[in-house]
Amino acid sequence: MNIETRELEDRQIELTVNVPSDRVERAMRTAARGLSKKTRLKGFRPGKAPYQVVLSHFGEDYVFEEALDILTQDMYRAAIEEADVDPFAPGALEEVVSRDPLVLRYSVPLAPEVDLGDYKSIRIPFEPAVIEESDVEQSMDELRERRAIIEPKDGPVELEDLVVVDIKAELIEPGEDEEAVLFDRKGMELVASKDSEWPMPGIADELTDMKAGDEKQVEHTFNKEYPIESLHDRKALFTIACQDVKTRSLPEWDDELAQSMGEFDTVDDLRERLRDNLQTQADRSVEAEYSSKIVDELVENAAISYPPILLESELDQMLAEFEQQLSAQHLTLEDYIKIQQTSLEDIRADFEPQARSRLDRGLALGELVDVENVTVTDDDIEAHLEVIAKAWNGDPEDVRKAFTNKASRRQLELDLLTEKAMQFLIATAKGEDPYAAIHQPEDEESEESADNIEEDAGDEDSSPAEEQVSNDEE
């Protein structure tokens, strides 16, 4: 068997295979027997029709196509073995160069290739997070908002009132085959706040002075700041029906209010805990940004190449993640494509830069793990499971059981390897000893947000206004 190999730029090998005529003949006869078994030919039992009869009945071209399916796999396996090629993923038949003689051309993906360069010289200044007193006071205000006192109101809507409305939004000039109704919600609770941007900017102005039973229509043009790009500069008609109006009054801070939010004796105790939590969150945010800068530097200094199939796989993964996000919003990918007036191909094209970035980062960190021989021990895994159990407020034994299968255990190991690689890089960038860093015990401090503070208060039912404030914050 004659094989020509050519190395392509994108970590692929091109194999051009001249298939011996006797292999073609055997494959043709095998294909003919298969066809005669599946199709009853007059005068012959299944599988017993002579070769020439099968050729006459189906045509030589059809039998050849069936034979090609057989040859494609057989010749590929033989070719990579003879050419001593180690595929990273399944290859593909790119072209039938000629039929007589039969010449097949394959593309074979090779393993990614990564040269990290001088990664030990990476140095990036680190600026620790600073929490201002205004940040603490803002969070205190948000906590107090959640304890707003809601009471029925007779009279028109004023700023900061809670309003129960039915809202319907329709495009004024919908496109062909475009759904005109953007949304139609009944019994929505909105706070008439100047800061409210949903369902449209300036909604508080439209609600002000309405009374229960009032209805109005408002024409609105979506500006370029609106999150749905396909609606920019388009007009919609909003029909607003006011069902109910309620007042919202905020309680004054005192020790009793602080005690209702958790295990705090005084307002100062709560404020101090909140300050600590904000500091922890800010530290983690700064560290995440710092880590991202380091990996950007690592990738920029590295030479990374991989076969196209790896990018397609990453795009498939991102698309699956996107579908899960849509599902959480009770939407399908088909819904999204229709709303955004886009296509699956355009979505994949939009995802491609991020997919390439994710690949580069993952491959660079993976190479660092290999180069520095970073390992994960049983003690590392056990410590991490303890952290997970603490975060879940669960039994460590139950958490261990959740990671008993090979797939979840392997994913846990990969996560820990990535974490250690990041610890190595962070220490390097700060000018510290990276080898000491990856042997430090895992930080078991768990994050506690303002939401967690209120959970300490017990199982009190939150009012609709509290839920709306929470949604607005998000």
Under 8 Å between Cβ of 178 and 341: yes
Taking the C-alpha atoms of residue 11 and residue 109, their distance in angstroms, rounded to an integer, is 6
Angle of the 267-301 helix axis to the 406-429 helix axis, nearest 10: 90
Q: Which residues of 131-145 are buried (b: 16+ CB within 10 A; e: fewer)?
A: beeeebeebbeebbb
Q: What is the pLDDT of residue 470?
A: 35
Whose structure tokens read 């709560």? 270
Class of domain 263-462: mainly alpha
The first and second tokens of residue 172, run together, are 């004024």
Looking at residue 173, the DSSP 8-state letter turns out to be: S
Strand partners, 137: none
Cis omega (within 30 of 0) on the bond before 50?
no
The first and second tokens of residue 175, run together, are 């496109």
User: Which are the contacts of 127, defined by CB distance < 8 A and separation ≥ 6?
Assistant: 286
As averages over each run of 10 residues, the pLDDT of the chain (474 residues) reads 90 94 91 85 79 87 90 91 93 92 95 95 95 93 88 90 92 86 89 84 90 92 84 91 90 91 92 95 95 96 95 96 92 90 94 96 96 90 83 76 82 91 95 85 46 48 34 36
Domain boundaries, the chain: 2-111, 149-249, 263-462
User: Which are the contacts of 400, defined by CB distance < 8 A and separation ≥ 6?
Assistant: 385
Under 8 Å between Cβ of 148 and 248: yes
Under 8 Å between Cβ of 92 and 72: no
Cis omega (within 30 of 0) on the bond before 101?
yes
Under 8 Å between Cβ of 106 and 14: yes
- The one-letter amino acid code at 383 reads A
Taking the C-alpha atoms of residue 230 and residue 178, their distance in angstroms, rounded to an integer, is 12
- The one-letter amino acid code at 208 reads T
Start-to-end C-alpha separation, the chain:
65
Q: Which CATH superfamily is domain 2-111 in?
A: Trigger factor ribosome-binding domain (3.30.70.1050)
Q: What is the pLDDT of residue 149?
A: 85
- The one-letter amino acid code at 334 reads E
Write down the CATH number for the domain with range 149-249.
3.10.50.40
* Greatest C-alpha distance within the chain: 99
Taking the C-alpha atoms of residue 234 and residue 175, their distance in angstroms, rounded to an integer, is 11
Taking the C-alpha atoms of residue 73 and residue 30, their distance in angstroms, rounded to an integer, is 14
> How far is the CA of 147 from the CAs of 439, 441, 463, in angstroms?
46, 40, 8
Q: What is the DSSP string of 144-170?
A: HHTTPEEEE--S---TT-EEEEEEEEE
State whether residue 359 is helix, strand or coil.
helix
State whether residue 235 is helix, strand or coil.
strand
The first and second tokens of residue 26, run together, are 């055997």
